[in-house]
Amino acid sequence: MIYSRLLLATSLAAVATLAACNREERELRPSPSASQVVNQAQVSGLNPGANPLPTPPTPSIYEESAYAVSEGKTLFGQYNCSGCHANGGGGIGPPLMDNNWIYGSQPQNIFTTIVEGRPNGMPSFRNRIPEYQVWELVAYVRSLSGLLPKDVAPSRNDQLYVKPPEASMPKQTPTGITGEPSK
Amino acid sequence: MIAASSPMRAAAVLASFFQGEHNSLHPAGPFSSNIEWLYWVIFWIVFVAFVLTILAFARASAKTYSRAEEMLPIMKDEEGDRKAKWAVGTAITVTVLTLFAVLFMSVITGKKVEGMTSSNPVTIQITGHQWWWEVIYPNPQADQTVITANEIHIPVGKPVVILTSSADVIHSFWAPSVHGKRDLIPGYSSAFWIQVDQPGTYPGRCAEFCGLQHAHMGFSIIAEDEATFEAWEQQQLKPAPDPTDAEAQHGREVFLTHTCVMCHTIRGTDAGSRVGPDLTHLASRNMIAAETLPNTTGALAGWIVDPQRIKPGNKMTPNPLAPDDLNALVTYLRTLQ
């Protein structure tokens, strides 16, 4: 009697283990499209192998729209970027009007910086700032050091700033991990 | 705004002068009554002076006209000179004395308006922001402090102390039926008394140009009886209730994970920023956006999606929320009684 119960229990346990055999689907060789790098932002200046790959074209149409850049300027105030970056001059956060880019000067670098945040204080604004507004901010931040054409950068200030408007800022040659693409 | 021709607009302004609620000639309390009394005293003095001046002009012109045909002889008239000296001297004396009398009455009125005391007044801290009013009922106990915006509830017939300050530029607090204008100056706090004897809603405006949306910076003083005021205060002290239905719960999630939470407070949740108005009891207010829009579902949704279209230049950013998220958010905000 005891023997038959033991047999029953053992066979039930054996049946139960069968369910574990097919516990995951393994995609042994992902399709080529899935293995593409989605995020184009390059954060390190080291490139294994040989020379750096050509920088992908800017994904942002906002770099060419004076309206978008002026919107970015307004948003820069509304989201209190000046709280740390002080109208681009720097304070708690690094200055934005000089040529030194710790995490890259490309639009996608700056986008990543705003959305994901950076170590030592830059908060992540993921979900807090709608995506199109981030791109407007990116374009404005680049105009602060003269990286946008003069006809796109804001040519006057809305408030009584001592600082000249962005269109009058001297163009800086970015240094840091990634340079501007050569044109 | 409806475009109106200037005569129509002038007529409308004239009509509002005699009947509108936004009117210092319809005083609602002792301070504005004093100010109204001074207004009428000065009005009648000036009116009498005006009538006398016009009569004198009429008489002089009539006289000159009757003799216009004659050649004016060059002559000495010592009698006339003496009369003229007396007339001019009297006129100057009367003018100076009248101005002194008016000055005296202004000072008396000022003293009457300031000279109010009460051992246990209601104290309200008003802080001007671009472009809304922060209203705080301070209490030594933090959890007994009411914080709201743009709508100032006060008990009828009781003296109220208003403490002023500003967060950015100079604003001016003006509810014409209640008190004269008081500037709110950044970095400088002052105080004044108000009292309202008739229950009702008294509109007010910012009366000092303070930037782009100065014209849309309204508030209202809601005077109600002691019991209603106490009930309102007790309700305002409560934290926001937890939403019960699924949509409002989703709305709270939207509030806490999107742009809103960076500037606004809802007590009882994690949202605690003091940049924008406190929204803990948003649904209890009649108007939103500093008396710009009625507090309805549609107006609230429109304001959230694009506040820059309604009040261009204000400090709130556009929020392109997905329709489901927006509906849920508004549903949640409407539960904040």
Average pLDDT, chain A: 81
The predicted-structure confidence for B185-209, as pLDDT tens digits, reads as follows 999 999 988 889 889 999 999 999 9
| Amino acid code (one letter) for A98 | D
Domain limits, chain B: 24-62+87-115, 122-236, 246-334
Dihedral sign computed on CA atoms, order A135, A136, A142, A148: positive
Q: For residue A129, give the nearest of B257, B259, B275 by CB distance.
A: B259
Q: Taking residues B142-150, what's their average pLDDT?
A: 91
Cα–Cα distance measured from residue A53 to residue A56, given in angstroms and rounded to the nearest whole number: 9
The predicted-structure confidence for A127-140, as pLDDT tens digits, reads as follows 899 988 999 999 99
CATH of the domain spanning B246-334, picked from 3.50.50.60, 2.60.120.380, 3.20.190.10, 2.60.40.420: 2.60.40.420
Q: Tell me if B258 and A128 make a contact (CB, 8 A cut-off).
A: yes
The predicted-structure confidence for B91-145, as pLDDT tens digits, reads as follows 899 999 999 999 999 998 888 877 777 777 889 999 999 999 999 999 998 889 9
Among residues B245, B178, B236, B232, which one has the least CA distance to residue B31? B178
- Residue keyed to tokens 């050649």: B71
Q: Tell me if A130 and B259 make a contact (CB, 8 A cut-off).
A: yes
Q: Which two tokens stand for residue B290?
A: 């500093």
Chain B interface, best mutation among A75, A76, A78, A133, by max B CB count within 10 A: A78
Q: What is the pLDDT of residue B119?
A: 75
Q: Taking residues A107-115, what's their average pLDDT?
A: 90
Q: Tell me if B257 and A80 make a contact (CB, 8 A cut-off).
A: no
CATH numbers and ranges of domains, chain A: 61-176 (1.10.760.10)
Q: Tell me if B320 and A78 make a contact (CB, 8 A cut-off).
A: no
Contacts of B320 in chain A (CB under 8 A): 130, 132
A80 in reach of chain B (CB within 8 A): yes
Residues 6 or more apart from B289 whose CB is under 8 A from it?
B132, B216, B303, B307, B310, B311, B314
Contacts of A78 in chain B (CB under 8 A): 315-317
Among residues B250, B257, B288, B10, which one has the least CA distance to residue B133? B288
Cα–Cα distance measured from residue B136 to residue B147, given in angstroms and rounded to the nearest whole number: 5
Q: Tell me if A133 and B317 make a contact (CB, 8 A cut-off).
A: yes
Q: For residue A75, give the nearest of B258, B261, B317 by CB distance.
A: B317
The predicted-structure confidence for A17-54, as pLDDT tens digits, reads as follows 766 666 777 777 777 665 555 556 777 777 777 776 66
- Closest alpha carbon within chain A to B312: A74
CATH of the domain spanning B122-236, picked from 2.40.50.140, 3.40.50.300, 3.40.50.1000, 2.60.40.420: 2.60.40.420
